[in-house]
Amino acid sequence: MASGIILACCMAPSAWGAPVAHHAATGTGTHTATHAPTAREQRIRQQLEAARNARENLVARQQQQAHDLEERRKVELEAREQARQDAQKAASLSAATVDATARLQRTEQQAADLDSRITGLHTEQTALRQQLAREVARLSPLLPLAERLSLYPADTLLAVPLPADRAVTGLLVVHGMMGDIASQTRAIHDRRTQLARLDGELAQQQQQMRQVVSERESQRDTVNRAAHAALEAQQRSNAAAASATQAVEEAARRASSVQDAIARIEATEEQAEKNLEEAARAAERAHNMQAAAAARRQAHEMATGAGPGITPATSASASAGAPVAGTVLTAWGHPTESGPATGITYAPPSRATVRAPCTGRIDFAGAFRTYGQMMIVDCGKHYRFVLAGLGEIAVAAGQQVSHGAAVGQMPQWNGGGSRPTLFVQLRHGGGTVNPAPYL
């Protein structure tokens, strides 16, 4: 169209020239006649104006598109930076809870031990009361005779005339009875003394229990606030920048067993690494070296793992010890109905805090099949911890956690029904490993 307009413009002088020459030849020469634009000239001018407007609109649209693209890139970079900062904040908050969580677990264990001691004292107290009642019942029929003998010994023995030999025998029997009565009386006195001691010890233990429970609730509240602050930071990070962790979590949700879940996670991560490598090569072909470097850096981070791996635990570390207070119900390798146990099962106190068994990244966190609330922690170097049976989870998929940090809480339990348990399993690749040396 533009070439047609230009051609029309080039042709216009010759078209306009003929009428002008005609007027000049026939005119009187006293003045020059004004030229009125023809309809064709008006169309050409309109076309030129339309072409200029179209070009200006196109340039303006290109500039707006370039500006919008730049703004989107800036927003994306800001989102990535915000996600990075939020993830770092979540990791820092997680690390900050390690010492507090360790103190809380010691307090929870102390409360559990006190509760067991109080239960034992109640049982011992009840047994003593029953034994004391039996001894008093056995001694009660003899008490009137003992009292009469102590007050009127001669009258009691002479109340019925007896031969001398039988009187002597009676005296011997009474002497033996008195010894038995004295022995039973001492036993009753000892039982009552022991019962009074138990009452005092029980009152002392209950007072200590109240103090420990108050301390436990205060510590638990502090740890829960810190854990939820870390969770909120990670949730902001997940919302700001979608990553392969979401695909990993979805793969775990579709799995039918823990072993299948781990296999799916590893397959998803392997595919993500391949996709990142392809993206890096595509960026290099497009001469976008910055994008290529970013893709390769992310692929390297996925390949090296989310954590440093695992090492045997040392008692000097604040993070050392079981991931939850309580007692071990089933140890690793213990015979069960389905074969040797592939993990450790704990019987924790009600609402006990659960700690991260290693430093790493949360691969999955949520309800899973019949396991209840479950989480999978990638410790790095293909080691993963599985924790199942929680009542509340305080982390999100993709969150970086420190060894010993609070990651959740056990369900409430008042002693009735089935007791909640925590199942802890350590996997390396496709097999299970005894987790005890690493806790």
| Per-residue pLDDT, 27 | 43
In this prediction, residue 176 has a pLDDT band, given cuts at 50, 70 and 90, of low
Contact between 350 and 424 (Cβ < 8 Å): no
Q: Mean pLDDT throughout 284-289? A: 81
Q: Is residue 214 part of a domain?
A: no
| Per-residue pLDDT, 427 | 93
Contact between 403 and 436 (Cβ < 8 Å): no
| Per-residue pLDDT, 20 | 41
Q: Is residue 249 part of a domain?
A: yes
438, pLDDT greater than 80: yes
Q: Which uninterrupted H or E stretch holds 353?
A: strand 353-355
429, pLDDT greater than 80: no
Q: How many domains does the chain have?
A: 1
Q: Mean pLDDT throughout 166-192? A: 66
Q: Mean pLDDT throughout 368-397? A: 92
The C-alpha atoms of residue 185 and residue 146 are separated, in whole angstroms, by 12
Q: Is residue 168 part of a domain?
A: no
Contact between 110 and 349 (Cβ < 8 Å): no
Residue with tokens 């309809």: 39
208: which 2 tokens? 């200590």
Q: Is residue 364 part of a domain?
A: no
CA distances in angstroms from 260 to 188, 273, 344, listed in the order given: 65, 20, 20
- Flag whether the pTM goes above 0.95: no
Q: Is residue 293 part of a domain?
A: yes
Q: Is residue 330 part of a domain?
A: no
Contact between 439 and 332 (Cβ < 8 Å): no
| Per-residue pLDDT, 379 | 92
376, pLDDT greater than 90: yes
HSE-CB at 24 with a 13 A cutoff on CA atoms is: 6
Strand partners, 374: 366, 388
Helices and strands per DSSP (H, E), number in the chain: 9, 13
Work out whether strand 431-433 and strand 373-380 pair parallel, antiparallel, or are unpaired.
Answer: unpaired
Strand partners, 330: 345
Mean pLDDT, rounded, of the chain:
76
| Per-residue pLDDT, 398 | 85
257 lies in which domain range? Answer: 243-304
Q: For residue 342, what is the DSSP state?
A: S
| Per-residue pLDDT, 410 | 96
HSE-CB at 106 with a 13 A cutoff on CA atoms is: 8
More confident residue, 123 or 254: 123
Strand partners, 377: 362, 385
Q: Mean pLDDT throughout 398-427? A: 92
30, pLDDT greater than 70: no
In this prediction, residue 4 has a pLDDT band, given cuts at 50, 70 and 90, of very low
Query: Which one of 42-56, 105-119, 397-411 scores highest in mean pLDDT?
Result: 397-411
The C-alpha atoms of residue 189 and residue 132 are separated, in whole angstroms, by 9
For the stretch 335-367, pLDDT in tens is: 988 889 999 999 999 999 999 999 999 999 999
7, pLDDT greater than 50: no
Contact between 409 and 391 (Cβ < 8 Å): yes
Q: Mean pLDDT throughout 209-215? A: 85
| Per-residue pLDDT, 155 | 58
| Per-residue pLDDT, 349 | 93
Lowest mean pLDDT among 77-86, 222-231, 335-344, 402-411: 77-86
| Per-residue pLDDT, 264 | 80
**Of 436, 336, 406, which is closest to residue 99 (Cα–Cα)?**
406
Q: Please state the separation of Cα 261 from the chain's center in Å.
A: 18
| Per-residue pLDDT, 223 | 84
Q: Is residue 367 part of a domain?
A: no
Query: Which one of 77-81, 129-133, 151-155, 173-177 scores highest in mean pLDDT?
Result: 129-133
Q: Mean pLDDT throughout 78-97? A: 75
Q: What is the largest CA-CA distance in the chain?
A: 193
Strands of 406-409's sheet in order across: 353-355, 406-409, 392-393
For the stretch 300-348, pLDDT in tens is: 766 666 677 888 877 666 666 899 999 999 999 999 888 899 999 999 9
165, pLDDT greater than 70: no
The C-alpha atoms of residue 122 and residue 199 are separated, in whole angstroms, by 9
19, pLDDT greater than 50: no
Percent with pLDDT over 90 in the chain: 20
Q: Is residue 270 part of a domain?
A: yes
| Per-residue pLDDT, 89 | 76
The C-alpha atoms of residue 360 and residue 224 are separated, in whole angstroms, by 20
3, pLDDT greater than 50: no
